[in-house]
Amino acid sequence: MALERISVSLDEDLIEKFESYLKVNGYKNRSEAIRDLIRDKLESDVVEQDKNGHCVGTLTYVYNHDERELARRLTRVQHHHHDVAISTLHVHLDHDNCMETVVLQGRIAEVQAFANAIISQAGVRHGKLNLVPAEVQGEKHKHGTSEHFHTHTHPKT
């Protein structure tokens, strides 16, 4: 992939804030930070505008496991959306609180509906959904002498 140079003019206040951003986030150069910021904005625009598009992502949330029937309700929501919830990591934070991260895949609108169903449960707090636009492609593969067809999900670049 060929890289193309561009010039950007910024006022001193913005440059100062940007230089601070570079240091805090560990960037070695301005170019990579600018590329990441542009990618992030473009990906978030796709997620906002194309609800029928596909995505991969994670939903992370903290909840009080003693909240009445909450664990059962969360499990029910995950089973109801078994087509988008691929895997769940469950961590015990302390005597009362758990954190779960659910790996998600599917149509943007369906993944967002799943996240909303989880985050809106009484007792769930600190819910955060992170999505990356993706393309789903059907592909035929050969493994040894057998051939099969399945789909692959590729993050959009």
Tell me the C-alpha distance between 152 and 113, whole Å: 23
The Cα 18–Cα 33 span in angstroms is 9
Q: Which residue has the tokens 């015990």?
A: 92
Instruction: Of 18, 44, 17, 14, give the one whose Cα is nearest residue 29.
Output: 18
Give, in order, the Cα–Cα distances in Å from 64 to each of 61, 72, 127. 10, 12, 13
The reply, when asked if residue 79 is annotated as ligand binding, is yes
**Spatial contact of 55 and 108, defined as CB atoms under 8 Å apart:** yes
**Beta pairing class for 124-143 and 54-64:** antiparallel
How long a stretch of residues is the chain?
157
Q: Is 154 annotated as a binding residue?
A: no
Q: Is 98 labelled as part of a ligand binding site?
A: yes
* Residue 92 is assigned to a ligand binding site: yes
Binding site, by residue number, is 79, 90, 92, 98
Which residue ranges are tagged as binding site for Ni(2+)? 79, 90, 92, 98
